[in-house]
Amino acid sequence: MRRYRRGAGRRAIVVADAVMGISVLAVVAVVLVTAVGRQRLACQRLTDARQAVRAAEAVLADLQAGLEMPGSDAQTTLVVRPCTGDAAPRQFHWIEVSATVGGQTRALVGLVPDRAGPATENSR
């Protein structure tokens, strides 16, 4: 006949509690790492979208000031197209400036003087 000590049953419960606690911590860690990764990706998309808007605004402002359109860099694609539709004031025409950064494209429409900007599609 075997004799069991009184504390053997309690030790088994403590070990089971410790294993469950570690399991819960592991699940929480996985959820946290996933959330941080998604947050970083969303932050990068938002940054790219903001850079695209800034680039489109800069090109439109330069064209409105009568300056040349700046060239694209390695991560920014700029496209300027004439717009059709509503009549523009004399000596002005409507254009659409599209900027793409990191897969995020933003477009702005504005008036530029006839002497500024291309009369046909221009991609740089």
Print the domain residue range for 111.
Answer: 8-123
Tell me the whole-structure pTM to 2 decimals: 0.69
- Residue 74 falls within a domain, yes or no? yes
Q: Is residue 3 part of a domain?
A: no
Give the H or E element holding residue 20.
helix 8-64
How many domains does the chain divide into?
Answer: 1
List, as one string, the DSSP characters of 37-102: HHHHHHHHHHHHHHHHHHHHHHHHHHHHTTPPPPPP-TTEEEEEEE--SSPPPTTEEEEEEEEEET
Q: pLDDT tens-digit profile of 25-84?
A: 999 999 999 999 999 999 999 999 999 999 999 999 999 998 888 887 888 999 999 988
Is residue 45 in a domain?
yes
CB proximity list for 107: less than 8 A, separation 6 or greater: 56, 96, 97, 98, 99
Confidence band (pLDDT; 50, 70, 90) for 8?
A: low
In a domain, 2, yes or no: no
Q: Is residue 1 part of a domain?
A: no
In a domain, 65, yes or no: yes
Residue 42 lies in a domain: yes
